[in-house]
Amino acid sequence: MEGMLDHQTDEALLGAYREGDREAFSVLVERYSNELVLFLTKQTGSRAAAEDVFQETFLQIHNSASTFDLDRRFKPWLYTIAVNKGRDWHRRNARRKAVSLSANVGKDGDGQSFADLMAADMPGPSEGMQESEMRQRVKHVVDSLPNHYREILLLSYFQKMSYTQIAETLEIPLGTVKSRLHSAVAAFGTGWNQDETDTEEREE
């Protein structure tokens, strides 16, 4: 039965769960366990916080399952809830010292695009000093961005969502997605250049 469920769409699984199939819900949770926790780690800057927010997200899915329109796509709805739960976490922790993003953002290479930096894999055991320094710079710059810029960059470059999916997830107009993403990339570029200038001044 579980093997059959693995091949069901997200929407079919949620529908089955609404009909009383508890295994269908477990398959949904497992299907997104890695992907969503990684996203939430980048959003919150903490693996432990990401795991907590992940649990809160699926608790909300459980509580609201009966209200979901099965003609819609499940994933944008899931990420809408996850982003909002992540925002709640940031509000609860607003007075605490900000923590950096997970180390799996960025990789070495001059002139790489922001997409390359955001989409990089975890560093390998043979990572050199230069790669490590590049990752630290990326983490520092992205972590310094306002939350609404960080969210849209993560959805676009890490989750590879389309403008339409981002609009649905963040519950904002399509035009706002385009303008905010443009502003977010520009803000990253400004922060990157400033960080480079600061680094050069410290080395002089």
Please give the pLDDT value at position 57: 96
Please give the pLDDT value at position 3: 61
Q: How distant is the alpha carbon of residue 159 from its chain centre?
A: 7
* Residues in the chain with pLDDT values less than 70: 1-3, 94-132, 135, 198-204
Length of the chain: 204
Q: What is the pLDDT of residues 52-110, one digit of tens each?
A: 999 999 999 999 999 999 999 999 999 999 999 999 998 888 654 433 333 333 333 34
Q: Letter for the amino acid at 203?
A: E
DSSP codes joined into one string, 98-120: P-PPPS-S----TT--HHHHHH-
Q: What is the DSSP letter of 124?
A: P
Tokens 């709805």, residue located: 77
Please give the pLDDT value at position 73: 93
CA distances from 162 to 66, 150, 158, 174 (A): 27, 16, 11, 10
**pTM for the whole structure:** 0.69
The full set of domains in the chain, from first to last, is: 1-99 (1.10.1740.10), 101-204 (1.10.10.10)
Per the CB < 8 A criterion, the answer to whether 72 and 93 are in contact is no
